[in-house]
Chains A and B, each alone.
Chain A
Amino acid sequence: MNRETRFWTVMFLCGSLFLAYQSFGTNRGVGQQFVVRVDATTGKIIPPTTDAAAPAVKTVIYEPAAKDDPEAIWSFSRTAGIWIAALLTLCIFSYLYRDNVCYKLAESIIVGVSAGYWIVTNYWEVLIAKVLVKLAPDVARYAFLPDTPADAKADYLYVVPVVLGCMVFCRLIPKISWMGRWPLAFVVGTTAGLKLILFLNADFVRQVRSTVLPLVVFSASASGGSELDLIQSIKNIVIVISVLSCLTYFYFSVEHKGLVGRISRLGIWVLMISFGASFALTVMGRITLLTMRLQFLFDDWLGFVRI
């Protein structure tokens, strides 16, 4: 047994002992979750009862509750969930030390779950809520969506996109894989057309328009006349010069020599300043995320933090 293995064995032992003490030795426990039973149709809380004769409610949903709530019951699934989530979080953090089996396990779980998640969401939100409702409203009403209007008529035009979509799977069969390009072309063509118009409008026309600024700004002064607004004027001048110099930098069909070269050098400096700011703002986001994960571990799971 080398030194590193020994170190980690001791660490794991200490961690397990600590968790065991925290779970059984303290009042709060680790990651314990409690719920109340609620009747979904009425929204009323169903008190826990041992009376077998009590009428069975078909539509029970569970909502989170505090431990000291008299109607609260201990929830196995949620407690297990918190434990699993916490352990998986630790598995991912272990990558910081070194790539290892725990990280790989968490990673392979997420590959499967995320692919499955997207498919399920789209199944319910598009294939059922949009396609089935249009093609067979009666089936949709009886099976999934009781609120589909009774007088809804089937719209068979929707067969076309379904068939077109299914042609995607032709790609898996080498002989007819060329047919798989049709739906792809439809998707690409639609986005190309939309993008052309909308980028030209919002990102070209509007942005050029926003850059049309007076280089000298006067604002109403207290005495009723107008006076030079120095700060705003400087800001406008800086914006206009920066935009023009950056555009010059991105101008590819002229050699960057002489005046053009100097202007484009200014352009790259502006870009660097903008990237510096963007870096700092990105850092802000990543740190917040780390804060949230640590809050989860130390608050929701271990319960160290109490407001």
Chain B
Amino acid sequence: MTSRLLDKLNMLDRRWIFLAMAMAVLAPILLQIGSDETPSPPTIKLFDEIERLPEGSRILMAMDFDPTSAAELYPMALAFTRHCGVRRHKLFFVTIWPTGKPMIESTIKGVIQADFGSGDRPYVYGVDYVNLGYLAGDAVAISQMSSDIRKARPQDARGTNLDQLPIMTGVTSVKDMALIVNASAGFPGGKEWVQYAATPQNIPIAVGCTGVQSTQLFPYYPDQLLGLVTGIRGAIEYETMLAAKYPNPYADRSKRPAFLRGGAQRWAHRLMIGLIVLGNGIHLANRYRRTLHP
């Protein structure tokens, strides 16, 4: 009987596993189960730095990701931008991924125009924030930015000359930034910003990265990286801190996209653990059976 079960498990069609995975992710989405997180030090460090910087500090927001990594990085980009907006820093959006431009645009639309576009002190384009758009040339573009922004891009994303924008007065290169905040999905990304700009020019940099990339970036922390926000967990941590500090309006569920993905994450992780354990159980059982009937 157990032997038959073992045979069945050995021959299990992997489509059943696919189905189990789909269920583990789908059920929390449909049932609206979210998950909170306790912040970890590398995330807290970035949060504190943005808090500490005086109002109106220049922050370079480098959004180097595409739709394939938007699931992890877009909630992060939203949270970073919201925090900078609350602290009223001057934001310079830029990307070195051709597919990153729509990401910048939807971040601007979703945060700056929606949350800070009105009221008594609205964020004004060209004064409080600017979209420098896409820089071609991969890592070389970063190197160019760190020597002269205008050489890398004479105009902003709308085609306006950089010299016509008030925000650009006194800004010649990345050196004039108080902080680089990078949402990075791979090459070129966080590693290249550290290598080509932050380390040679001594500019503080914090990176929000995908889970895949985090092991590559962890060795740079804390010497070359000020903060490191990892994957969806990091995004949830940041949202949690933002919600704790500014409950109005950031404790609201609709402003916490990462929180809603947390529940699915938790269940899928449980499934993964179960599968690894079950798989190894089968492996051991097979070995045991082989010793019985060699």
Which residues from chain A sit less than 8 Å from chain B, CB to CB? 96-97, 117-118, 121-122, 125-126, 129-130, 133, 144-149, 190-191, 194, 198-199, 201-203, 206-207, 209-210, 274, 277-278, 281-285, 287-292, 294-295, 298-299, 304-305, 307
> In the bound complex, do residue B161 and residue A147 qualify as a contact, i.e. CB atoms below 8 Å apart?
yes
- Additional 16 contacts, C-beta under 8 A, given A202-B195, A202-B199: A121-B134, A129-B159, A130-B136, A145-B159, A147-B155, A148-B161, A210-B219, A210-B224, A278-B212, A281-B212, A283-B272, A284-B265, A288-B261, A292-B261, A295-B29, A307-B32
Is A122 a contact partner of B224 (Cβ separation < 8 A)? no
Q: Which of B155, B164, B200 contacts A201 (CB 8 A)?
A: B200
A198 to chain B, nearest CB (A): 5
Q: Rank and list the top 6 A-B pairs by shortest CB-CB distance, nearest first.
A: A292-B71, A281-B211, A285-B211, A284-B211, A202-B195, A121-B98
B43-51, B52-60, B172-180, B226-234: which lies at the interface: B226-234
User: Which residue of A130, A149, A198 contacts B195 across the interface (Cβ within 8 Å)?
Assistant: A198
Query: In the complex where A133-B154, A194-B139, A210-B223 touch, is A284 in contact with B232 (Cβ < 8 A)?
Result: yes
A145–B155 touching, CB < 8 Å:
yes
**Interfacial chain A residues near B139, Cβ < 8 Å:** 191, 194
Residues from chain A with Cβ under 8 Å of B200 in the complex: 198, 201
- Complex alpha-carbon distance, A285 and B154, angstroms: 36
**Closest chain A residue to B185, Cβ basis:** A285
CB of B240 within 8 A of chain A?
A: no
Contact of B99 among A117, A147, A277 (CB under 8 A): A117
Render B86-129 as a binary contact track against A, CB cut-off 8 A, 1 for contact.
Answer: 00000000000011010000000000000000000000000000
Contacts of B135 in A (CB 8 A): 125
**Cα distance A207–B221 when bound, in Å?**
10
Q: Which residues of B contact A190 (CB under 8 A)?
A: 140
Question: Contacts A194-B143, A210-B223, A298-B26; is A288 near B136 (CB within 8 Å)?
Answer: no
CA A201 to CA B202, docked complex, whole Å = 13
Contact of B140 among A129, A130, A191 (CB under 8 A): A191
User: Would you call B133 an interface residue if the criterion is a C-beta within 8 Å of the partner chain's C-beta atoms?
Assistant: yes
Residues of B within 8 A of A (CB): 15, 18, 21-22, 25-26, 29-30, 32, 68-72, 98-99, 101, 133-136, 139-140, 143, 153-155, 158-161, 163-164, 194-196, 199-200, 210-212, 214-215, 219-220, 223-224, 230-233, 253-254, 260-261, 264-265, 268-269, 272
Pick the contact of B264: A121, A278, A287 (CB < 8 A).
A287
Evaluate contact between B159 and A144: CB separation under 8 angstroms: yes
| Contacting pair B140 A294 (CB below 8 A) | no
Tell me, in angstroms, the Cα distance from A97 to B266 when the chains sit together: 25
Contact assessment for B29 and A298 in the assembled complex, using a CB-CB cutoff below 8 Å = yes
Q: Closest residue of chain A to B153, judged by CB?
A: A129
- Closest-CB distance, A244 to chain B (whole angstroms): 15
Q: How far is the CB of A7 from chain B (nearest CB, A)?
A: 13
* Chain A positions within 8 Å of B261 at CB level: 288, 291-292, 295
Let me know if A199 and B26 touch, CB within 8 A. Answer: no
Contact B159 A291, beta carbon cutoff 8 Å:
no
Q: Which of B158, B160, B214, B223 contacts A281 (CB 8 A)?
A: B214
CB-defined A-B contacts under 8 Å, sample of 15: A118-B98, A194-B196, A198-B196, A202-B224, A209-B223, A281-B230, A284-B211, A285-B232, A287-B264, A289-B72, A291-B71, A291-B268, A292-B70, A294-B29, A295-B261
State whether B161 touches A149 (Cβ < 8 A): yes
In the bound complex, how far is the Cα of B85 from the Cα of A118, in angstroms?
A: 32
Most buried by A among B30, B70, B211, B232: B211
Q: Which residues of B contact A191 (CB under 8 A)?
A: 139-140
Q: B161 to A283, Cβ gap below 8 A?
A: no
A255, chain B: closest CB distance, angstroms? 29
Indicate if the CB atoms of A285 and B26 lie closer than 8 Å.
no
- Cross-chain contact of A122 among B30, B98, B155, B199 (Cβ < 8 A): B98
Question: Of A198, A199, A307, which one neighbours B253 at CB under 8 angstroms?
Answer: A307
Q: Distance (Å) between the CB of A132 and the closest chain B CB?
A: 12
Instruction: Write the chain B residue with the least CB distance to A293.
Output: B71
| Chain A residues positioned under 8 Å from B25 (CB to CB) | 287, 290-291, 294
Residues of chain B contacted by A294 (CB below 8 angstroms): 22, 25-26, 29, 264
Given A203-B195, A285-B72, A291-B25, the answer on whether A278 and B269 have CB atoms closer than 8 Å is no
On whether A282 and B29 interact (CB within 8 A), knowing A201-B195, A202-B195, A288-B72, the answer reads no
Question: Chain B residues near A283 (CB, 8 Å)?
Answer: 211, 269, 272
Across the interface, which residues of A come within 8 angstroms of B210, CB to CB?
285
CA distance A287 to B232 in the complex (A): 10
Task: Return A151 CB to nearest CB of chain B, in Å.
Answer: 11
A158 to chain B minimum Cβ distance, whole angstroms, is 12
Complex alpha-carbon distance, A121 and B211, angstroms: 28
Look across to chain B and name the residue whose beta carbon is closest to the beta carbon of A306: B32
CB of A194 within 8 A of CB of B134, answer no
B5 CB to nearest chain A CB (Å)? 25
* A147 touches which of B164, B233, B264 (Cβ 8 Å): B164
Give chain A nearest CB distance to B275 CB in angstroms.
11
Q: Is the CB of B69 within 8 A of A285?
A: yes
The residue in chain A whose Cβ has the minimal distance to the Cβ of B135 is A125
